[in-house]
Amino acid sequence: MAVTDQPGSEQPLIASTALAAGHDGRAEIVLELAYPNGARTQLSVTEEAMARALDVAGVQRLEDLHGQPWTVLIDPDEMGAL
């Protein structure tokens, strides 16, 4: 699903995902977020945090996150803390 396929979305969507080396040499996941106004930003997430986030999102592959709102990665029980 393309990022633009989410009509009326008011929040950033996950445009792409990639594996990268962190500053300590361990794997990190880099998410590119696309905002409704066309702006983009990148977010680095540790491998361990991403594994938990994928469980919360109910997906097994990074590619399954493309086009999803970034909040799909947040445990609903923790949303109030943001």
Rounded to a whole number of angstroms, the CA Rg of the chain reads: 13
Dihedral sign for Cα atoms in the order 75, 32, 1, 6: positive
Q: Tens digits of per-residue pLDDT, 14-51?
A: 999 999 998 888 889 999 999 999 999 999 988 888 88
Instruction: Give the pTM.
Output: 0.75
